[in-house]
Structure 1
Amino acid sequence: TLEAAETLKKIPEMTSNADILITVFSPELLPESLKLTKTLRAGGAKVDISIDYEKKMDKQLKYANKNNIPYVAFIGPEEVKNGTIKLKSMATGQQTSFKLEETPEELKKKN
Protein backbone atom coordinates (compact mmCIF):
# COMPACT_ATOMS: atom_id res chain seq x y z
CA THR A 1 0.00 0.00 0.00
CA LEU A 2 0.98 3.61 -0.33
CA GLU A 3 1.09 4.02 3.45
CA ALA A 4 3.53 1.11 3.79
CA ALA A 5 5.75 2.56 1.07
CA GLU A 6 5.83 5.94 2.80
CA THR A 7 6.70 4.26 6.09
CA LEU A 8 9.56 2.35 4.48
CA LYS A 9 11.08 5.58 3.18
CA LYS A 10 11.29 6.83 6.76
CA ILE A 11 13.27 3.82 7.97
CA PRO A 12 16.95 4.73 8.07
CA GLU A 13 19.42 2.54 6.21
CA MET A 14 21.23 0.01 8.36
CA THR A 15 24.95 0.58 8.77
CA SER A 16 27.58 -1.54 10.41
CA ASN A 17 29.35 -0.52 13.59
CA ALA A 18 32.25 -2.82 12.74
CA ASP A 19 35.88 -1.74 12.85
CA ILE A 20 36.90 -4.35 10.30
CA LEU A 21 35.33 -6.27 7.44
CA ILE A 22 36.63 -9.77 6.77
CA THR A 23 36.42 -10.55 3.06
CA VAL A 24 35.81 -14.01 1.67
CA PHE A 25 38.03 -14.87 -1.28
CA SER A 26 36.32 -18.13 -2.30
CA PRO A 27 34.04 -20.86 -0.92
CA GLU A 28 37.11 -22.95 -0.09
CA LEU A 29 38.50 -20.16 2.10
CA LEU A 30 35.25 -19.42 3.95
CA PRO A 31 36.37 -21.53 6.95
CA GLU A 32 39.59 -19.47 7.19
CA SER A 33 37.62 -16.22 7.08
CA LEU A 34 35.23 -17.49 9.75
CA LYS A 35 38.14 -18.58 11.95
CA LEU A 36 39.74 -15.13 11.59
CA THR A 37 36.42 -13.49 12.45
CA LYS A 38 36.15 -15.57 15.62
CA THR A 39 39.75 -14.81 16.62
CA LEU A 40 39.35 -11.06 16.12
CA ARG A 41 36.07 -10.95 18.00
CA ALA A 42 37.66 -12.85 20.88
CA GLY A 43 40.39 -10.19 20.85
CA GLY A 44 37.78 -7.44 21.25
CA ALA A 45 37.48 -6.19 17.67
CA LYS A 46 34.08 -5.35 16.20
CA VAL A 47 34.04 -7.50 13.09
CA ASP A 48 31.70 -7.93 10.15
CA ILE A 49 32.18 -10.69 7.58
CA SER A 50 31.16 -10.69 3.95
CA ILE A 51 29.91 -14.27 3.72
CA ASP A 52 28.64 -13.86 0.16
CA TYR A 53 31.80 -15.18 -1.49
CA GLU A 54 30.17 -14.89 -4.90
CA LYS A 55 30.52 -11.11 -4.62
CA LYS A 56 33.64 -9.86 -6.29
CA MET A 57 36.21 -8.18 -4.08
CA ASP A 58 35.31 -4.69 -5.36
CA LYS A 59 31.71 -5.22 -4.20
CA GLN A 60 32.96 -6.26 -0.76
CA LEU A 61 35.10 -3.09 -0.62
CA LYS A 62 32.12 -0.96 -1.68
CA TYR A 63 30.15 -2.52 1.20
CA ALA A 64 32.91 -1.46 3.60
CA ASN A 65 32.90 2.09 2.22
CA LYS A 66 29.11 2.37 2.28
CA ASN A 67 29.02 1.20 5.89
CA ASN A 68 31.99 3.29 7.05
CA ILE A 69 34.05 0.27 8.08
CA PRO A 70 37.59 1.63 8.48
CA TYR A 71 39.56 -1.57 7.80
CA VAL A 72 39.21 -4.55 5.47
CA ALA A 73 41.04 -7.85 6.00
CA PHE A 74 41.97 -10.10 3.10
CA ILE A 75 42.78 -13.77 3.53
CA GLY A 76 43.41 -15.38 0.17
CA PRO A 77 45.36 -18.49 -0.85
CA GLU A 78 48.74 -16.75 -0.51
CA GLU A 79 47.89 -15.45 2.96
CA VAL A 80 46.71 -18.90 4.11
CA LYS A 81 49.95 -20.42 2.81
CA ASN A 82 52.04 -17.81 4.68
CA GLY A 83 49.89 -17.66 7.84
CA THR A 84 49.19 -13.96 7.31
CA ILE A 85 46.38 -11.56 6.52
CA LYS A 86 46.42 -8.26 4.66
CA LEU A 87 44.76 -5.36 6.40
CA LYS A 88 43.72 -2.37 4.30
CA SER A 89 42.92 1.06 5.68
CA MET A 90 39.90 2.33 3.77
CA ALA A 91 40.88 5.92 4.60
CA THR A 92 44.41 5.79 3.16
CA GLY A 93 44.40 2.67 0.98
CA GLN A 94 47.55 1.47 2.75
CA GLN A 95 47.83 -2.31 3.09
CA THR A 96 49.84 -4.05 5.80
CA SER A 97 50.51 -7.76 6.27
CA PHE A 98 50.24 -9.33 9.72
CA LYS A 99 50.95 -12.78 11.05
CA LEU A 100 47.64 -14.31 12.12
CA GLU A 101 48.76 -14.65 15.75
CA GLU A 102 49.65 -10.92 15.88
CA THR A 103 46.43 -9.65 14.41
CA PRO A 104 44.23 -9.02 17.50
CA GLU A 105 46.96 -6.98 19.23
CA GLU A 106 47.75 -4.99 16.10
CA LEU A 107 44.09 -4.16 15.59
CA LYS A 108 43.78 -2.97 19.18
CA LYS A 109 46.65 -0.55 18.51
CA LYS A 110 44.84 0.82 15.46
CA ASN A 111 41.53 1.41 17.26
Structure 2
Amino acid sequence: MRRGWIVPIPLSRDRLSERKFNQAEEIARRMNGKVTLALKRDEGTPQSRKSREERLKRSNPFHVTKEVAGKNILLVDDVYTTGITLRQAMVRLKEAGASEISAVTLFRSI
Protein backbone atom coordinates (compact mmCIF):
# COMPACT_ATOMS: atom_id res chain seq x y z
CA MET A 1 0.00 0.00 0.00
CA ARG A 2 1.28 3.45 -0.84
CA ARG A 3 1.71 5.90 2.01
CA GLY A 4 -1.41 6.00 4.06
CA TRP A 5 -2.92 5.10 7.35
CA ILE A 6 -3.50 1.81 9.11
CA VAL A 7 -6.94 2.11 10.71
CA PRO A 8 -8.04 -0.55 13.20
CA ILE A 9 -11.75 -1.34 13.52
CA PRO A 10 -12.82 0.22 16.81
CA LEU A 11 -14.75 -1.46 19.59
CA SER A 12 -17.74 0.11 21.28
CA ARG A 13 -16.99 1.74 24.63
CA ASP A 14 -18.77 -1.11 26.48
CA ARG A 15 -16.91 -3.84 24.60
CA LEU A 16 -13.58 -2.11 25.19
CA SER A 17 -14.40 -1.87 28.90
CA GLU A 18 -15.16 -5.62 28.92
CA ARG A 19 -12.01 -6.70 27.08
CA LYS A 20 -9.61 -3.98 28.30
CA PHE A 21 -7.96 -3.80 24.85
CA ASN A 22 -8.84 -3.77 21.15
CA GLN A 23 -7.39 -6.78 19.31
CA ALA A 24 -7.56 -5.01 15.94
CA GLU A 25 -5.59 -2.07 17.33
CA GLU A 26 -2.97 -4.40 18.80
CA ILE A 27 -2.59 -6.13 15.40
CA ALA A 28 -2.35 -2.75 13.63
CA ARG A 29 0.37 -1.52 15.98
CA ARG A 30 2.53 -4.51 15.03
CA MET A 31 2.34 -3.59 11.35
CA ASN A 32 4.74 -1.28 9.54
CA GLY A 33 2.96 2.05 9.12
CA LYS A 34 1.14 4.95 10.71
CA VAL A 35 -1.71 3.72 12.91
CA THR A 36 -4.54 6.26 13.05
CA LEU A 37 -7.70 5.89 15.09
CA ALA A 38 -9.97 7.43 12.45
CA LEU A 39 -13.23 5.65 13.26
CA LYS A 40 -15.62 5.60 16.20
CA ARG A 41 -18.26 2.94 16.78
CA ASP A 42 -21.74 3.43 18.25
CA GLU A 43 -22.78 1.37 21.24
CA GLY A 44 -24.74 -1.80 20.61
CA THR A 45 -24.86 -5.55 20.97
CA PRO A 46 -21.49 -7.13 20.10
CA GLN A 47 -21.38 -8.78 16.67
CA SER A 48 -20.34 -12.06 18.27
CA ARG A 49 -23.74 -12.24 19.96
CA LYS A 50 -25.71 -11.76 16.73
CA SER A 51 -26.88 -14.20 14.09
CA ARG A 52 -25.72 -13.86 10.49
CA GLU A 53 -29.07 -12.29 9.54
CA GLU A 54 -28.87 -9.79 12.41
CA ARG A 55 -25.33 -8.83 11.39
CA LEU A 56 -26.33 -8.22 7.79
CA LYS A 57 -29.39 -6.11 8.75
CA ARG A 58 -27.74 -3.81 11.30
CA SER A 59 -27.40 -0.11 10.63
CA ASN A 60 -23.95 1.34 10.08
CA PRO A 61 -22.39 1.97 13.52
CA PHE A 62 -19.27 3.82 12.30
CA HIS A 63 -18.37 7.51 12.23
CA VAL A 64 -15.20 9.03 10.79
CA THR A 65 -13.33 11.09 13.39
CA LYS A 66 -10.31 12.29 11.37
CA GLU A 67 -9.83 14.03 8.03
CA VAL A 68 -9.38 11.12 5.59
CA ALA A 69 -9.93 12.88 2.25
CA GLY A 70 -7.33 11.67 -0.24
CA LYS A 71 -5.82 9.13 2.19
CA ASN A 72 -5.05 5.52 1.40
CA ILE A 73 -6.43 3.39 4.22
CA LEU A 74 -5.65 -0.14 5.36
CA LEU A 75 -8.46 -1.34 7.63
CA VAL A 76 -7.47 -3.93 10.22
CA ASP A 77 -9.86 -6.29 12.01
CA ASP A 78 -9.25 -9.39 14.07
CA VAL A 79 -11.96 -11.71 12.73
CA TYR A 80 -13.85 -11.81 9.40
CA THR A 81 -17.24 -13.48 9.72
CA THR A 82 -19.71 -11.94 7.25
CA GLY A 83 -17.59 -8.99 6.10
CA ILE A 84 -20.27 -6.49 7.13
CA THR A 85 -18.01 -4.74 9.66
CA LEU A 86 -15.32 -4.03 7.07
CA ARG A 87 -17.90 -3.04 4.43
CA GLN A 88 -19.64 -0.58 6.74
CA ALA A 89 -16.35 0.97 7.87
CA MET A 90 -15.28 1.25 4.21
CA VAL A 91 -18.55 2.98 3.29
CA ARG A 92 -18.04 5.64 5.96
CA LEU A 93 -14.41 6.21 4.94
CA LYS A 94 -15.37 6.47 1.24
CA GLU A 95 -18.16 8.93 2.11
CA ALA A 96 -15.52 11.03 3.92
CA GLY A 97 -13.30 11.05 0.83
CA ALA A 98 -10.72 8.32 1.43
CA SER A 99 -8.86 7.53 -1.80
CA GLU A 100 -8.12 3.80 -1.61
CA ILE A 101 -9.25 1.34 1.04
CA SER A 102 -7.87 -2.15 1.58
CA ALA A 103 -8.48 -4.53 4.47
CA VAL A 104 -6.69 -7.25 6.37
CA THR A 105 -7.97 -9.64 9.03
CA LEU A 106 -6.09 -12.13 11.13
CA PHE A 107 -8.74 -14.85 11.26
CA ARG A 108 -11.68 -16.06 9.17
CA SER A 109 -14.67 -17.48 11.04
CA ILE A 110 -16.17 -20.61 9.44
Higher strand share: 2
Q: What TM-score do the two structures reach when normalised by structure 2?
A: 0.39
Higher helix share: 1
Higher relative contact order (CA 8 A, sep 6+): 2
Larger CA Rg, structure 1 vs 2:
1
